[in-house]
Structures are given as structure tokens and as C-alpha cells.
Amino acid sequence: MLRILIKPELCAGCKNCQVACLAEHSPSGSVWLADLSGGHGRPRNSVELNSRDLPVPLTCRHCQEPECVTACITGALSKNPATGLVEHDQGRCAGCWMCVMSCPFGMISPEALEKKTAVKCDFCQGRETPRCVEACPTGAICLAEVSPETGNNTTPGEAPKEEGLH
């Protein structure tokens, strides 16, 4: 499975990943035309300063055992068994914010314009390389092939691949 790895030590804080994300999810798809002032919503990734004031790019992990999926009351969130991606069906989303409450990393948020549904990283659906990875000039955000067997093992006693209720 392809995953986005983050190397904060390479991050220059340029936020180009955010511009790229915004562009990808804007009507034109163009970095020239994406409304950076918020008219096209917010990027789904972020660059935040850590306690030492160093920039850290952050984006959804598509967890092995996604807490957002566990918390979803409508079935809008699901883990795709084929790709391992955590997908969000905006049409089913009720805007209950259980996912926002549950993601320990803060990677799913209310959509900034309508504020009716949640939005999260969709791995640039169908795109070979996610835009943020493509836009990162330093390699701080990069793609890596990750084996599904070496899961996200925060559970003592080991958990198998979790696909949510979908």
C-alpha cells in the first residue's frame, strides 16, 4: 500500500503542500486559480510548528485501525480493504463531528465553507501521486510502499487489518 511518509527535518515550512491540496480540491484544480483566501475551503493537510517552532507537515495516516471510522455513526467513513485508504463519503456524512472528536491526530475537520460535513485527505483520489507529495520541494512529504502486515500496532496483543463497518 502506498502511504505518505513525513520527514519533518526536511520541511522548510513553505506550505506548498497546503496550496497543492487546496488546488486539487478546487474547481479548476489549478494552483494559479485556487482561492488561497478561503473561497475554496481549507486544505486538508497542514503545516504546524512544534514546540520548538520547527515546521511539521501533517496529513491523514489512513490508519490501520482508524478511530474516525470506528466513531462514524452514518457509515460515511470507511476503510477501503483494497487500497487501505480511509475514505469519506460526503453524501452520507451527517456532520456529527464524532470523527473530529475521535481522530487523535486532528486530521479530519469540518469542511470550512458549509461546515455541514467533515473533510479529510482522500489521497487525491485516482491520482498517481498525491498533489502534496508532488508539491513538496524538499522531500519532507514523500510516498512509500508500506506492507499492510506491519500495521499500526497501538493495541497490545495485536490487531488485524481493520476495515471499519463498511
Partner 1 sequence: MRVCISADQVLNDFLAARSGVETSFNRVPPQAVKCGFGMQGVCCRLCSNGPCRITPKSPRGVCGASPDTMVARNFLRAVAAGAACYLHIVENAAVNLREIGRGNSQLPLKGTGLLNELADSLETGGRDRNEKAVNLAERVLADLYLPRNDKMRLVQKLAYGPRFELWRQGGLLPGGAKSEVFDALVKTSTNLSSDPVDMLLHSLRLGIATGLYGLAMTNKINDIIWGEPQIRTARAGFGVVDPDYVNIMITGHQQSLAGILQDALLSPEAADMARAAGAAGFRIIGSTCVGQDMQLRAAHCPEVFAGQTGNNFTTEALVATGAIDLVVSEFNCTLPGMETVCRQMLVPQICLDDVAKKQNAELLPFDIRETRAIAGKIMRGAADSFAARRKNVTVNVPSHGYDDVLTGLSEKTLKNFLGGSYKPLIDLIAAGSIKGIAAVVGCSNLTAGGHDIFTVGMTRELIKRDIIVLSAGCTSGALENVGLMSPAAAELAGESLKKVCLSLGIPPVLNFGPCLAIGRLEETAADIAAELGVDLPKLPLIISAPQWLEEQALADGAFGLALGLTLHLAIPPFITGSELVTGILTKGLENITGGRVIVDGDINSTVDRLEAVILDKRAGLGL
Partner 2 sequence: MKYLILGASAAGLSAVRAIRQLDAGGEITVLSRDRQIYSRCLLPEVLAGRKDPGATRFVPEDFLERHGARWFGGVEATRLLTGEKAVLADTGDKFTYHRLLIATGASSFLPPVENIRKGRQVYGLRNLEDVEAISAAAGKGRGAVIMGGGLVGVDAAAALNERGVSVTIIEAAGHILPLQLDRRAAERYQHIFRKRGMEIITGEMVTRILLDGDDNVTGVELKGGRTIPCALVVAAAGVTPNISLLKDTAVETGRGIRVDEYQETSVADIFAAGDVCESLEAFTKKITTTPIWPLAVQQGRVAGWNMAGARRKPLNNFAFRNSMEFYGLPAVSYGLTEAPGPGYETFTRESGESYKKFILKNGRLRGAILQGDITGAGVYGALIRENIPAGATGEKLFGLTYADFFNQLEDGSFIF
x/- mask, partner 1, residues 89-128, rule CB under 8 A, reads: -----------------------x----------------
47-54: list long-range contacts, CB under 8 Å, 24+ apart.
47/11, 47/13, 47/14, 47/15, 47/17, 47/18, 49/13, 50/8, 54/8, 54/11
Residues 72 and 159: beta-carbon distance below 8 Å: no
Site for partner 2 in 60-119 (CB under 8 A): 61, 63-65, 67, 70-75, 94-98, 100-110, 115
Site for partner 1 in 39-98 (CB under 8 A): 41-43
Q: Grid coordinates in use for 157?
A: 496483543
Site for partner 1 in 130-159 (CB under 8 A): 134-137
Closer residue to partner 2 in complex, CB, 16/64: 64
Closer residue to partner 2 in complex, CB, 115/127: 115
Closest alpha carbon to 109 in 45, 38, 22? 45
Q: Which does 98 bind (CB under 5 to 8 A by kind): partner 1, partner 2, none?
A: partner 2
